[in-house]
A = this chain, B = another copy of it.
């Protein structure tokens, strides 16, 4: 009996050692600080057979915010840059926009003036540029824009403005049996055309904000048409609602960067057993941007306080990441 027990223990230990796949080299762009250690320790715990914190692979749900967590969000959300470009592209078909805000200001190049109209102005811009076409037409428009539009600061494609350490983290989690999801305030149909190629996350694992759509037969051919009406805002308290609605299972790990992610992190960490909550803190004005409590884009204030109070992981981008963007690598 004792021999059998020891054999079993040895086997368990062997499994434990090999369970966290390639932990040592999986996150080469992360310095060996607290953030990386918290990730490795969490994955070790939940993937080790026999561990009290073991989580079966089917329950290894990890949710990631997108803007500011997987790709950059400065100087403005990239989807807003898309919308502004679309206003310009569509202007010839809308002569009335010259006398109508927020379009008039936009077309004169005055983005600030256009956005001075607040949420109402943004909503009008979104509906004018995101609705009125079929889902397939919209998908093509997004693909075309991403293939050519350049980031105003770096001159890179927007899909190059993703965080190398987060790409490594996504792959590391997947290699350990996690299913990785995006849970973003961004438009779900703005993200789905490219998340598979860029992040390895297929469309059905992308949760986001949406407008209403309608199925119809156009000359006998089925089409799904995008309507100028909000359907769901996947932000703040909407994130756990979106997780419940789309995924139907509470994540064991969640990753965000702003107060918009606070409720997702609360919902995730309130589950039983080991949980990982991680916040990307933008602290690197040289390689990326430095902003938090007072930023209008990606404000990180309440969630930073709660992270400290609850011991969540906080990535200090400047010190925790050796590389920020893939194009920095030699």
The answer to whether A203 and B267 have CB atoms under 8 Å apart is no
Q: Does A32 contact B (CB under 8 A)?
A: no
The answer to whether A213 and B58 have CB atoms under 8 Å apart is no
* Number of chain copies forming the complex: 2
Q: Does A263 contact B (CB under 8 A)?
A: yes
The answer to whether A246 and B204 have CB atoms under 8 Å apart is yes
Q: Does A31 contact B (CB under 8 A)?
A: no
The answer to whether B221 and A270 have CB atoms under 8 Å apart is yes
The answer to whether A204 and B248 have CB atoms under 8 Å apart is yes
1/0 per residue A174-193: CB within 8 Å of B?
Answer: 00000101000000110010
On whether A263 and B215 interact (CB within 8 A), knowing A135-B244, A203-B249, A248-B206, the answer reads yes
The answer to whether B204 and A245 have CB atoms under 8 Å apart is no
The CA-CA distance from A239 to B224 in the complex, in Å, is 11
Q: Name the CB-closest residue of B to A245.
A: B210
B contact residues around A179 at 8 Å (CB): 204
The CA-CA distance from A215 to B267 in the complex, in Å, is 9
The answer to whether A202 and B263 have CB atoms under 8 Å apart is no
1/0 per residue A236-276: CB within 8 Å of B?
Answer: 01111100111111000000000000010011001000000
On whether A189 and B241 interact (CB within 8 A), knowing A58-B202, A222-B267, the answer reads no
Q: Does A110 contact B (CB under 8 A)?
A: no
B contact residues around A249 at 8 Å (CB): 192, 202-204
The CA-CA distance from A179 to B179 in the complex, in Å, is 14
The answer to whether A224 and B247 have CB atoms under 8 Å apart is no
B contact residues around A229 at 8 Å (CB): none
Pick from A58, A245, A266 the residue with the most CB of B within 10 Å.
Answer: A245
Within the complex, which residue of B196, B205, B222 is in contact with A240, where a contact is CB–CB below 8 Å? B222
Q: Does A100 contact B (CB under 8 A)?
A: no
On whether A215 and B237 interact (CB within 8 A), knowing A179-B204, A245-B210, A248-B206, the answer reads yes
Q: Name the CB-closest residue of B to A208.
A: B248
The answer to whether B263 and A222 have CB atoms under 8 Å apart is yes
Q: Name the CB-closest residue of B to A205.
A: B204
**A 293-316 contacts with B by CB, 8 A:** none
On whether A270 and B240 interact (CB within 8 A), knowing A189-B248, A196-B58, the answer reads no
The answer to whether B192 and A213 have CB atoms under 8 Å apart is no
Q: Does A214 contact B (CB under 8 A)?
A: yes
The answer to whether A245 and B213 have CB atoms under 8 Å apart is yes
**Chain B: minimal CB distance from A126 (Å):** 17
B contact residues around A238 at 8 Å (CB): 215
B contact residues around A188 at 8 Å (CB): 245, 248
The 8 closest A-B pairs by CB, nearest first: A203-B248, A215-B237, A215-B240, A222-B270, A192-B248, A204-B247, A222-B266, A203-B249
